[in-house]
Amino acid sequence: MDLRTLKLYKFPILMALSCAAFYFAFAYDLNRSDFFKLIGLYGALFFLSFKLIQQLKTKLKLLVILAVLFRLVFLFVLPNLSQDYFRFIWDGRLIAEGWNPYQYIPNDLIQLQTFNISQAKELIQGMGSLSAGHYSNYPPLNQLIFAIAGWISTSSILGSVIIFKLIIILADIGTFILGRKLLKSIGLPEHRIFWYILNPFIIIEMTGNLHFESVMVFLLILSLYLLHQKKWIWSAIIFGLSISIKLLPLMLLPLLFRFFTSDKTSLNFLKLIAYYLIIGITVIISFLPFYSHEIFSNFMASIGLWFGKFEFNASIYYLVRWIGFQVKGYNIIETAGKVLPLITFVAILGLSLFRKKMDFKRLIENMLFAVTVYLLLSTTVHPWYLAIPLMLSLFTEFRYMIVWTAVVFISYFAYSNPEFQENLWLVALEYFIVLFYIVKELKQGPKKVTIV
């Protein structure tokens, strides 16, 4: 390497080393209650990642190596921003011992004399009373991942965590390969994929905090890639598997109506029906190993909690809640939790039925808008929920999701106090910035708002 080349890479090397150091501090020397340190590290990582992508966007191999190395920093440490992994390990060990995670509440199960799994009390304590008091709400393919760790690592929490992280890293590598291919096939710049793969939001929330949206995104992108290649049967099967990781892709199904039926022929309509049927059959088959007469009611009861009981980092819902207090004098979450999803469904139907002829790019754009509406109307928006719309946005000219991932960590302020109380001024700041960019892009046209 000559002096000129060394000078060219001097600053990117320094930025990459700085990123590695900040990720190490994030993984090994951060308590989630230390909000200012958390937001300072995240802000620095986001800025440095932005610059790395900007300066090295033609050096794909180098950026891929950095993306993998940054993830490996988190490999041998327990998550420090989430405790969900205790429930993942619990469910996996249940399956490994022949118990059905959809049939038993952890607090009840641990009282049985016939029950015995390794580190049961530690797992119960770690997952917290809320999770320990309810049935599992994780779909069956997600449970299979938990079971893999349950079979391989029977008595080590860290061992199970390492297995989960390796699976997530492999999913992200798959997302890079497929996302890059899909970008190229529809005539978009390949380097856009790094706004997912090298985004500190994805690295921290997926590999660092063990959220399996990463696997769901991989399967969804694989399904979309196969659909673009006109391999619609395999696309439908993989789409069903993505739903069996997380349920969120279900809301995207109505958008396929216009895509399949833009050319109004009976053959295309039959393909649409077949596509839906294959997805449905795939999801049903994935549930069969866990089948019992109470599985549906238990699973749906746990899912229903998210709409009728929980509230976190919401936007429009918090305004509705405030109005409810003024009018009714109490929290109207149970009513709002039923009405807001209906509004979301109507909005998605509008995107499905009333937009003009839909090509593949318009399909992904509509999917982005659908998930955005869902998040803006949700009672609970955890940071990791942004993974799907972030990925979808890379195949459009809209960049507001990149902005949202830059500011979403503001929501972690809630963990800086013992009562886990949100600062609504900070929540308002987050959504003001996000909505500003959404409105600006919709008004001026996305190509006029330059971020990358």
The reported pLDDT for the residue numbered 169 is 98
Distance between CA atoms of residues 29 and 92, nearest Å: 28
Residues near 424 by beta carbon (within 8 Å), at least 6 away in sequence: 318
Average pLDDT, the chain: 90
The reported pLDDT for the residue numbered 6 is 44
Distance between CA atoms of residues 250 and 216, nearest Å: 12
Distance between CA atoms of residues 223 and 408, nearest Å: 28
Q: Is 25 helix (H, G, I), strand (E, B) or coil?
A: helix
Structure token digits, residue 123: 């797992």
Distance between CA atoms of residues 437 and 445, nearest Å: 11
Cβ pair 216, 244 in contact under 8 A: no
The reported pLDDT for the residue numbered 305 is 65
Cβ pair 391, 242 in contact under 8 A: no
pLDDT 10s digits, 254-293: 999 888 887 665 568 899 999 999 999 999 999 999 888 7
Give the angle 144-149-152 at the CA atoms, nearest 5°.
Answer: 120
Burial of 388 (0-12, 13-18, 19+ CB in 10 A): buried
Residues near 442 by beta carbon (within 8 Å), at least 6 away in sequence: none
Provide the β-strand partners of residue 380: 312
Q: Which amino acid is at 266?
A: S
Distance between CA atoms of residues 255 and 370, nearest Å: 9
Distance between CA atoms of residues 327 and 317, nearest Å: 15
Distance between CA atoms of residues 201 and 207, nearest Å: 10
The reported pLDDT for the residue numbered 1 is 46
235: closest CA among 225, 245, 243? 225
pTM of the predicted model as reported, rounded to 2 decimal places: 0.93
Each of the 452 residues of the chain gets a pLDDT tens digit; together they read 444 544 445 678 899 999 999 999 999 999 999 999 999 999 999 999 999 998 888 889 999 999 999 999 999 999 999 999 999 999 999 999 999 999 999 999 998 888 889 999 999 999 998 889 989 989 999 999 999 999 999 999 999 999 999 999 999 999 999 999 999 999 999 999 999 999 999 999 999 999 999 999 999 999 999 999 999 999 999 999 999 999 999 999 999 988 888 766 556 889 999 999 999 999 999 999 988 877 877 877 777 666 666 889 999 999 998 888 888 877 777 788 788 889 999 999 988 887 666 789 999 999 999 999 999 999 999 999 999 999 999 999 999 999 999 999 999 999 988 878 999 999 999 999 999 999 999 988 755 444 45
Cβ pair 186, 228 in contact under 8 A: yes
Distance between CA atoms of residues 257 and 210, nearest Å: 34
Distance between CA atoms of residues 139 and 142, nearest Å: 6
Q: Which 8-state DSSP code applies to residue 290?
A: G
The reported pLDDT for the residue numbered 440 is 94
Measured in degrees and rounded to the nearest 5, phi and psi for residue 341 equal -60, -30
Q: Report the interhelical angle of 140-152 vs 266-287 (nearest 10°).
A: 40
Q: Which amino acid is at 287?
A: F
Cβ pair 287, 295 in contact under 8 A: yes
Q: Which 8-state DSSP code applies to residue 198?
A: T
The reported pLDDT for the residue numbered 447 is 57
